[in-house]
Amino acid sequence: MLVTQLLSGADNEGMKILEEISKEAMESIDNIRTVSALTKEQTIYNIFSDRLWTPFKKNMKSKAKVCFISGVTQGVTYWAFGACFFYGSRLLKKDDVSFGDIFRVLGCIVFCSMQMGRTIAFAPDFTKARQAASFIFELHDKIPPIDAFSKEGKKPPQGSFKATVRFEGIHFRYPMRPDVKILNGLDLSVEPGQTLALVGESGCGKSTTVQLVERFYDSEGGRVILDKYGTKDLNIEWLRAQIGLVSQEPILFDRSIAENIAYGDNSRTVSMDEIIQAAKSANIHNFIQSLPLGYDTNVGSKGTQLSGGQKQRVAIARALIRNPKILLLDEATSALDNESEKIVQEALDKARAGRTCITIAHRLTTIKDADKIAVFKGGVVHEIGTHDTLMAKQGLYYDLQNAQHH
């Protein structure tokens, strides 16, 4: 019991530290190119080694205690022998017991103490099993505030659902940064088939707005409304099935191009004809056909075998395969060169036709044709209107345009 208690306390504390160290190590490995480019390999190695020293010292102290107690428990057998022989010889001298009784009692005590010793030897394994079980039960019992597997919520009929998006008095802070308020009473709307562009300086709440539509987070005040339904009232799986998302750095799986496109809709088996049609809409069909393996070409880990523009177009095809009512574009062309941007922009123009689209743009030249342009500042909409209207107003949008041209 003592060994188990000591191991349990030491391992719990050590595991927490090792988890943090492992996260840092994995982050460095995932971003090894950046680490190499900054020549920080030795620095990362030294940080990792220094962080390991703390759990090592604590582990050594706990193991010293465990070794001492283990030595005591393993010595029980020999103490039992000594005690039995000593006390038995006294009783034998007084004719209280016979020689055979001494060995009967000796055998009983010794074998029992041996079995106790063997049982204690399993203490480390028992401790690990108990910790693993506690993690499993903790994970099983944890109910996330936004449950992607929940069957609750409304599922409006496809024919009646109109892709109107409205933000009414939205207030929001990220859970990891509760002291920093991102949105301060945001009011904004976009009608079915319209394109709404969000512009503004970094950290003003543009990407947060898109994430609230996807319901990656819930606002602390106000409502996000799709058609006539609040996003919190809709079934979350159904909600996300109506939305196609293309981010600045799309993540592709280490599978074929066809499989990556088909991953856009996992509710059914996607046919090859649909995959090809989505690729054509994303302006990437001709490129895929030029590859030796065509649609069976493996894109590599995180899509490293493709260029930035090619990855973006595969991501667009993946978003289109589910035929979404709403298309969210989070700076989809900001990381591309001019030639790739032109090709991807053509694909995006095709993709957003007939759909409600919310796009975030740093390059203002890509959003001149948007139906509405909302200029964010301090977590609220500072200006809203078409490109020509905002330019004529000569306000914040006008300043952003001039800044980019210069």
- Alpha carbons within 13 angstroms on the beta-carbon side of residue 4 total 14
Q: Is the pLDDT assigned to residue 63 strictly greater than 80?
A: no
Mean predicted lDDT score pLDDT of the chain: 82
Contacts of residue 222, Cβ cutoff 8 Å, sequence gap at least 6: 167, 168, 169, 170, 171, 185, 186
Alpha-carbon distance of 206 to 110, in angstroms, equals 74
Per DSSP, 133 falls in state: H
Do residue 94 and residue 192 come from a single domain? no
Q: Is 220 helix (H, G, I), strand (E, B) or coil?
A: coil
What Å distances lie between residue 56 and 13, 26, 168, 228, CA to CA? 11, 20, 53, 58
- Burial level of 329, CB count in 10 A (0-12/13-18/19+)? buried
Do residue 87 and residue 179 come from a single domain? no
Strand order in the sheet with 165-173: 181-190, 165-173, 221-226, 229-230
Q: At which of 106, 141, 176 does a domain end?
A: 141
- Band (pLDDT 50/70/90 cuts) for residue 405 is low
Residue 234 lies in a domain: yes
CATH of the domain at 315: 3.40.50.300
Question: What per-residue confidence (pLDDT) applies to 137?
Answer: 92
Q: Is 370 helix (H, G, I), strand (E, B) or coil?
A: coil
Residue 151 lies in a domain: no
What percent helix, strand, coil does the chain show, rounded to 5? 55, 15, 30
| Residue (of 343, 274, 349, 348) closest to 310 by Cα position | 343
Residue 157 lies in a domain: no
Question: What per-residue confidence (pLDDT) applies to 406?
Answer: 57
Q: Is the pLDDT assigned to residue 13 strictly greater than 70?
A: no
Q: Is 322 helix (H, G, I), strand (E, B) or coil?
A: coil
Q: At which of 141, 176, 203 does a domain end?
A: 141
Question: What per-residue confidence (pLDDT) applies to 4?
Answer: 63
Do residue 310 and residue 171 come from a single domain? yes
Per DSSP, 196 falls in state: E
What Å distances lie between residue 16 and 12, 125, 340, 362, CA to CA? 7, 19, 45, 40
Interhelix angle 308-320/338-352, nearest 10 degrees: 10
Contact 314, 260 (CB under 8 A): yes
What Å distances lie between residue 221 and 173, 203, 359, 375, CA to CA? 10, 19, 23, 21
Residue 37 lies in a domain: yes
Alpha-carbon distance of 314 to 321, in angstroms, equals 11
Contacts of residue 66, Cβ cutoff 8 Å, sequence gap at least 6: 3, 6, 7
Do residue 48 and residue 113 come from a single domain? yes
Tell which wins on pLDDT, 132 or 20. Answer: 132
Q: Strand 243-246 vs strand 165-173: parallel, antiparallel, or unpaired?
A: unpaired
Q: Is 334 helix (H, G, I), strand (E, B) or coil?
A: coil
Do residue 354 and residue 389 come from a single domain? yes
Residue 60 lies in a domain: yes
Domain total in the chain = 2
Q: Provide the percentage of residues in the chain whose pLDDT is more than 90.
A: 1
Question: What per-residue confidence (pLDDT) applies to 19?
Answer: 78
Do residue 129 and residue 220 come from a single domain? no
Question: What per-residue confidence (pLDDT) applies to 133?
Answer: 92
Task: Tell me the per-residue pLDDT of 305-347, one tens digit each, with 9 for 90 and over.
Answer: 888 788 888 888 888 888 888 888 887 666 566 676 677 777 7
Do residue 234 and residue 367 come from a single domain? yes
Annotate 281-313 with DSSP letters as a single string: HTT-HHHHHHSTTGGG-B--GGGTTS-HHHHHH
Do residue 35 and residue 136 come from a single domain? yes
CB atoms closer than 10 angstroms to residue 136: 10
Task: Tell me the per-residue pLDDT of 37-47, one tens digit each, with 9 for 90 and over.
Answer: 888 888 888 88
Q: Is the pLDDT assigned to residue 11 strictly greater than 70?
A: no
Q: Is 169 helix (H, G, I), strand (E, B) or coil?
A: strand
Expressed as residue numbers, the domain containing 374 is 165-405
Task: Tell me the per-residue pLDDT of 356-398, one tens digit each, with 9 for 90 and over.
Answer: 888 887 777 778 888 888 888 888 888 888 888 888 888 888 8
- Burial level of 3, CB count in 10 A (0-12/13-18/19+)? buried
Contact 225, 186 (CB under 8 A): no
Residue 176 lies in a domain: yes
Contact 246, 312 (CB under 8 A): yes
Do residue 29 and residue 175 come from a single domain? no
Alpha-carbon distance of 398 to 374, in angstroms, equals 12
Do residue 56 and residue 103 come from a single domain? yes
| Residue (of 271, 266, 258, 222) closest to 241 by Cα position | 266
Residue 147 lies in a domain: no
Do residue 205 and residue 118 come from a single domain? no
Residue 146 lies in a domain: no
Do residue 78 and residue 223 come from a single domain? no
